[in-house]
Structure formats: structure tokens, C-alpha cells
Amino acid sequence: MMKRLFSILFISLFTITSYAQTWIDSVETYAMQSYLPATKYVWSWQHAAFLNTIVKRYDQVAESEKQQYLDYIEKAMHRTKGSANGKTPNGVASGLGMAFLYEKTGDEFYKAKCDKIFAQYQKVRRTPEGAISHLPLTLELWDDTVFMIGQFMIAMYRATGDEKYLNELAIQFRLHREKLLDKKTGLWYHGWDANDKDGIPYFCGQMGWPDNETRVSSEIWGRGNGWLFVTLSDALEVIPHEDELWGEFAGYLGEMVEHLPELQDEKTGHWYQLPVRNEDPDNWIESSCTAMFAYGIITALKLGIVEDRIFVKSTELAYNGLRKYSTEPAKNGLTCTNVCTGTCIGDKDYYLKRGVQKGRSFGLAMFIQFGMRYEIENGLR
């Protein structure tokens, strides 16, 4: 009898342990139920970052759990179907939801929306070489742009198998990299301005931010680079390994990941608002870029792009550091803290004086994306 009771107790404990929530589940619960339920979704880049997370969660979970994520995406897209557009890179971003729904349902309604978004995107202002401008009234290239258009292109490739979408992403990545890459660190400066006299200079951000000669901004911003890590990681998940684009994108990811461990704060596991100024006393830890950088590293490890133990340690530091230093209790779960508010382009002081907030949709999104991937890759779920 005692042996049977012990067996029942052991099985019960094992079941509880197996299904126990991690702190990342608590962030997801808060984000989906309280911070940004589908009924509050608007067609914006901020919410698109979270929508991208919901799409990834649909792919990660068991068949029995998929419906809640599908319902979220359907409600969000139907709520905003009248706003759907591709008139700016930021406008394109939410189109990933329409592309996902076309992939999963085959409904021509979603295909028509996607075609409209892409047609409008093709009319967005560009440099003579074809690099798309981040803003409509002045010709500027931002690293943020690559994510905003990239997630839609990746989703459209998944939905249709048409390589024109991957090719467009590759073109934009090359052209932006050509202007923004810092060869010393592998990271990118935030922006480049064409000094286009027909536009309105410095429409967003600090006046006079471009260098007079290079037209490039002076600072390497954390979250701006984070968008690149996420886009490269997600593209490498869908590009066939034998495709030459896979090798090209893997090279870009390796280039950007290489120096990240040496820029990471070992105590908190975070990277900084201005990552390469990690010894500046006025700098501060920023959690959204930390989650994005770590997401890129764990992808590079998974795909064999990097192998050194130092990169494994870096993801461990980030996972534990985000939990300890950048979360706090919230309704139904946990929220994120130490998140830089929405940011344009400026000098060092501009970035270091930006507002620090909690619970932003893009911050929550990247906590969940990195955290889930970390837990899956390390056998924690």
C-alpha cells in the first residue's frame, strides 16, 4: 500500500513539475491578457513586434494549444483590416499577420490584403540604388527598417514560396548595411540621411544628427541593432540551407554576434542603451536590446554559426539577468522594465536621456521570444 501511494505521489509531483510555468509564461500571460489583448491591437510597428511573437508561439506550441494564438491573430487582423497598408516601413510591419493567416487558411481575403500592402510598399521612396526610406518626407535609412519590412517579407515567403520576397529582404539588408555598418564591431549605426533637399530634413529625432561628410549618425543604438538580430535569425529559419542566401545571412549574423560577449555587463547580463559605450558612467542597461541580442546569439549557436562556450554563457547571463533586474509583478503575471521608449536619431546625449519605461509591447515581445527559445533549446520546457 505504501509503495503504491509513493508511486502516485511521485507521478503527481512529476506532472506538476513538468507543467509548471516559467517566468516567461508569466510575462506572456500578462502581455496577452492584460497589456495587449487582441481587442486593443492597432496597426502599428509597436504592436506588430508583439504580433510577431504570437505567430512564433503558434509554431512552437502543441496542436492542442494553437487555437488561442490563431484566435488572437485573427481578431487583431480583423480589428485593423481597414487600417492595413504598406505606405511606410512601419506600416508594412503588421502585414505579417495577414500573411500568416493566408498561409494557414488559404483565404483569398488575406492574400488580397497582402498584395495591397506589397504594392504600396513598392511605391515607398527609395535611394537611386533602391534602399527604402524609413520616413516618407525625407530620404533616410534606419536599421529599424529592416525588421519592419523584413518580417512581412519572411511571412510572405512562408505563405507563397515566392522568392521575390526573400530577394527584396536581401537587397534591403545589403543596401542598409553598406551605409550603416561599423566594421570594427560588426554592429550598425542607427541611420543615414541623403541630405535630400526636396524632403524635410531631420523629420524625426534631433536636428543635425548626420555627419556632414558621411551623412551617417554618430551612435550605435541597442534596440536598432536588436531588430537586425531578430530579422536575420528569423530569415535563417526559413531560407533553405542550400540557398546561397542562407550563407550570406549566416555571415551577417556571425559578423554581428562576434563582439557581443565582450560588450555585455557581466553583473546584470544586460547590454546597454549604447552598446559600444559600455564603460560610460552615464550609460544604462536596456532590456529590449538585451533580449534581442541574446535571441541572435542563441540562433547562431543553434545553427552552428558560433560555437564557443563564451556565447553559451552570454545567453545564460541574459536569461537570468532579465529575470532578476528587468521584471516586476503585474496583473496576471510579470511585466518587463528598463525598456527604452520609442526613439528616433540623435547624438550620445539624445539616447542617454531617452525615457525608460516598462511593459512596452516590443519589450514584452522580445522577452517572450528570447525566453521561450532559450527554454526550449536548454530543455526547460
Q: What is the pLDDT of residues 35-92, one digit of tens each?
A: 999 999 999 999 999 999 999 999 999 999 999 999 999 999 999 999 999 999 999 9
pLDDT attached to residue 231: 98
Asked whether the predicted pLDDT for residue 16 surpasses 60, the reply is no
Mean pLDDT of 96-106: 98
pLDDT attached to residue 203: 64
pLDDT attached to residue 199: 58
CATH number of 24-377: 1.50.10.10
d(CA 47, CA 51) in angstroms, rounded, equals 6
d(CA 369, CA 372) in angstroms, rounded, equals 6
* Contact criterion met (CB below 8 Å) for 333 and 21: no
pLDDT per residue as tens digits for the range 148-176: 999 999 999 999 999 999 999 999 999 99
pLDDT over 70, % of the chain? 93
Which pLDDT band, with edges at 50, 70 and 90, does 230 fall under?
very high
User: 3-class DSSP state for residue 330?
Assistant: strand
Mean residue pLDDT across the chain: 93
pLDDT attached to residue 202: 59
pLDDT attached to residue 5: 39
How far apart, in Å, are the Cα atoms of 147 and each of 96, 152, 169? 11, 9, 9
pLDDT attached to residue 200: 61
- What type of residue sits at position 376? I
Mean pLDDT of 208-235: 96
pLDDT per residue as tens digits for the range 185-219: 999 999 999 987 665 655 678 988 999 999 999 99
d(CA 120, CA 95) in angstroms, rounded, equals 12
Phi, psi of 155 (to 5 degrees): -65, -35
Asked whether the predicted pLDDT for residue 7 surpasses 50, the reply is no
pLDDT attached to residue 204: 77
In angstroms, how far is the first alpha carbon of the chain from the final one? 33
d(CA 304, CA 283) in angstroms, rounded, equals 32
* Contact criterion met (CB below 8 Å) for 163 and 157: yes
pLDDT attached to residue 6: 37
Mean pLDDT of 354-375: 98
pLDDT attached to residue 184: 97
Bigger pLDDT: 245 vs 200: 245
Angle between helices 287-302 and 244-257 (to 10 degrees): 130
Domains of the chain by residue range: 24-377
* Contact criterion met (CB below 8 Å) for 22 and 319: no
pLDDT attached to residue 296: 98
Residue 259, CB half-sphere, CA atoms under 13 Å: how many? 15
Which pLDDT band, with edges at 50, 70 and 90, does 240 fall under?
very high
- What type of residue sits at position 312? V
Asked whether the predicted pLDDT for residue 138 surpasses 60, the reply is yes
d(CA 303, CA 99) in angstroms, rounded, equals 26
What's the pTM?
A: 0.94
User: 3-class DSSP state for residue 21?
Assistant: coil
